Chain A
Amino acid sequence: DSGVTQTPKHLITATGQRVTLRCSPRSGDLSVYWYQQSLDQGLQFLIQYYNGEERAKGNILERFSAQQFPDLHSELNLSSLELGDSALYFCASSTGTGESRRSSYNEQFFGPGTRLTVL
């Protein structure tokens, strides 16, 4: 158990709908990262928040948005869903920003993921 929690575990919805994925980081971790992993694909970095502020952005679609709240939990909002958005969505957390030479500040702890199916 990494200490990172994600809800829900599974989500089935229809095209055009909007969903919200939730993530609670490990106690004490200030960074939250979101990733998308399609079937048999690698991890695609979406976005990172550090202590409530956006820290880094990957190839996140405009239909997707995220935020980190004062209690450090994070939500990923996916709207106008398309079939191609079906994937496993992972959240991860780390102590630091990920921009350090210290391994312990960069190590990311991943949650169990949310499997999204768009029909």
Chain B
Amino acid sequence: GQSLEQPSEVTAVEGAIVQINCTYQTSGFYGLSWYQQHDGGAPTFLSYNALDGLEETGRFSSFLSRSDSYGYLLLQELQMKDSASYFCAVRGRGGSARQLTFGSGTQLTVLP
């Protein structure tokens, strides 16, 4: 099976940088994805890491280290609109393990 752990809540101020960590246990997976979800809304895709290292998309960056079973989402120049829940997710490899598992989500609150 697969399991992912994320902090339940993170608080930061506008303009700051915040890192949301995701540690996982899985026998094998294709890559680590990150999604953002505002209250009452649908999740939206942020990033995907298939290989170790950093992927940068504007103010958001995501990192993966397979050897450490660890990834993170880095949000820079925080804005009020970044207040949302953030989920990491993995897609397992092969057979019955080929399911998608999402972390329980991190509620980010950005303060003025």
State how many residues of chain A have any CB contact under 8 Å with chain B: 28
Q: Report B42 CB to chain A, min CB distance, Å.
A: 4
Please give, as numbers and ranges, the residues of chain A lying within 8 Å of B31 by CB-CB distance. 101, 106
Please give, as numbers and ranges, the residues of chain A lying within 8 Å of B89 by CB-CB distance. 43
Q: Report yes or no: B104 in contact with A42, Cβ–Cβ below 8 A.
A: yes
Residues 18-54 of chain B: 1 if any A CB is under 8 Å from the residue's CB, otherwise 0? 0000000000001101010000011111011011000
Given A45-B101, A57-B99, A98-B100: A107 and B43 within 8 A (CB)? no
Please give, as numbers and ranges, the residues of chain A lying within 8 Å of B30 by CB-CB distance. 98-101, 106
Residues 46-60 of A at the B interface (beta carbon under 8 Å) = 48, 55-58
Add 4 more A-B contacts to A99-B91, A110-B43 (CB < 8 A). A41-B104, A42-B103, A58-B100, A100-B30
